[in-house]
Amino acid sequence: MLSDWHSALKRLTLIFLALLLAGWLVGAPALVVLAGTIVYLIYHLRQLRRLYNWLRDNQNSEPSPPPEGRGIWGFIFDGIYLLQRRERDALTHLRSIIDKAQESTGALEMAVVMISSKNGLEWWNPAASRLLGFQSPKDRNQPVTNLVREPQFITYYNTGHFNSPLKLSSPVNPTLMLEFQITSFGEGERLMLVRDISQLHRLEMMRKDFVGNVSHELRTPITVITGYLETMLDDRQNIPPRWGRPLEQMYQQSQRMEHIIRDLLTLSQLETRSASKQLSAVQLQSLLRDIKQDAEQISQAKKQIFKLDCDPDLYIRGNINELYSAISNLAINAAKYTQPGGSIELSAVRNANGLRITVSDNGPGIDAHHIPRLTERFYRVDESRSTDTGGTGLGLAIVKHVLARHGGFLDISSKVGKGSQFSCQLPADRVLTAEQATARAKTD
Ligand code: ADP
């Protein structure tokens, strides 16, 4: 390449020297050099025109071989041709990758939707048309929230928190239950994956109904059995002595069953009933005071020390019965599992994320590896300890559900031999001051 350039320069110098010599011989060097320069320019202009014509003809078609050229022009023609071929090959490769990606997503059962940074639909596969009713090309660049209009979806989409998926029925076929999962990528673009979970949803509903129905059906027979056992035990003097102990054990077990059924029914109601829209402003201090009194009553014989620390100005927007059930579960657990004479504290503080209600104790504590599993149904750290205290293994599952229905979560920290803290974290939009609570009561 460099040699092409050097030989072109060398040739040019030789031509000019020859022209000068010829001009000197005929006695008109300037004229001869001028004539030579004009011929040289005409040659290069012709080459430029060939290049121009070739590029123009190639603009919209497959690159044709370049015109024949010698020296530096030959190198330029071949070089441009090579670059054109390379670009065309790269483009073909890219197109085949895009075709393959579109073909494979097209065959997916799952809807795949690409959303631009301006929230308009950019691309979607056939499953998206089937599950969400998107029509091509009519809906291209339409805002996604104009096409999936469910308020739940709009809130989910606008908040931008996509840690957990959203379950919603299909906007075109209400019998289909869909799961929406969104991820952000690039510069504000989003990828939305939508899965048909109707079958799973039906099974889940069947499971919930089954647990609810079985618990409901078992409640009456167990109440009758417990009632008869209680009456028999009240009339102990007329029972043969060898029946005394078995009857007591039967009574204890039937009571345990009653508690399990009660907790299963509570859980089933929390799962199947949607969260109430009619929420009241609950004064936290009086709620915690009632719970403290109940727990004190239960643990009377253990002589435990109960403390309460809560600002009387704190109010919470929520379902009072559900909140009572959740926090009293924590307080009763603390009383149940803490040794006689131990101390238990109920407190509530505002923090950066909203409100934190904590039940702490100086009881036996829980080993770290149990903590992530504590809210699972029937999970117990120590089977014997839990059955001794009449536990059902469902209390913390109820707490978790109630908090989720209030937009919050349960945070557990514990040290073996030192004690445990069970904290209910609730979002800021649930917290009210006394003034806000009074204003709310007036408008309600
Ligand atoms: P249970 O009805 O058995 O108390 P929960 O779901 O309320 O069921 O609690 C699950 C398990 O967590 C209990 O079996 C117990 O081992 C443990 N646990 C709960 N609270 C405490 C506490 N304050 N201190 C120690 N262990 C606790």
CB neighbour list of residue 314: distance below 8 Å, 6 or more residues apart: 283, 284, 285, 348, 350, 355, 431, 433
Q: Give the dihedral sign, CA 4/7/13/16.
A: negative
Give the pLDDT confidence score for residue 344 in this predicted structure.
97
- Residue extent(s) of CATH 3.30.565.10 domains in the chain: 280-443
The answer to whether 397 and 375 are in contact (CB under 8 A) is yes
pLDDT for 399 beyond 90: yes
Residue 362 near residue 421 (C-beta atoms within 8 A): no
| pLDDT number for residue 23 | 92
Q: Tell whether the model's pLDDT for residue 272 goes beyond 70.
A: yes
What is the chain's Cα-based Rg?
41
386 CB within 6 A, ligand 1: yes
Which fold is adopted by the domain 280-443? Heat Shock Protein 90 (3.30.565)
Answer yes or no: is the C-beta of 334 below 6 A from any ligand 1 atom: yes
Q: What is the mean pLDDT of the chain?
A: 90
CA distance 192 to 183: 7
pLDDT at res. 2: 61
Q: Is the pLDDT of residue 73 over 90?
A: no
From 369, 386, 387, 412, the mutation candidate for ligand 1 (largest count of ligand atoms within 8 A of CB) is 386
392 lines ligand 1 (CB under 6 A): yes
Q: Is the pLDDT of residue 421 over 70?
A: yes
Tokens 């109707």 appear where? 198
Measured between alpha carbons, how far is 307 from 356 in angstroms, rounded to an integer?
A: 16
Ligand 1 lined by 380 (C-beta under 6 Å): yes
Q: Whose CA is nearest to atom 7 of ligand 1?
A: 395
What are the residue ranges of CATH 1.10.287.130 in the chain? 200-272
Look up the CATH number of domain 200-272.
Answer: 1.10.287.130
Confidence check: pLDDT of 385 > 90: no
Q: What's the confidence (pLDDT) of residue 367?
A: 95
Q: Is the CB of 328 under 6 A from ligand 1?
A: no
Atom of ligand 1 nearest to the CA of 370: 12
CATH number of 108-196: 3.30.450.20
Question: In percent, how much of the chain has pLDDT > 90?
Answer: 68
* pTM (predicted TM-score): 0.70
Count Cβ neighbours within 10 Å for each residue of 240-271 and write b for 16 or more, e otherwise: eeeeeeebeebbeebebbbebbebbbbbbebe
- Ligand 1 contacts CB of residue 333 (under 6 A): yes
Sequence-separated (6 or more) residues with CB below 8 Å from residue 29? 19, 20, 23
CATH 3.30.450.20 in the chain, residues? 108-196
Residues 248/229, Cβ–Cβ less than 8 Å: no
Task: Count the alpha carbons within 13 Å of 152 in the hemisphere toward its beta carbon.
Answer: 10
**Range from 30-34, 39-43, 62-66, 193-197 carrying the lowest mean pLDDT:** 62-66
Quote the pLDDT of residue 140.
93
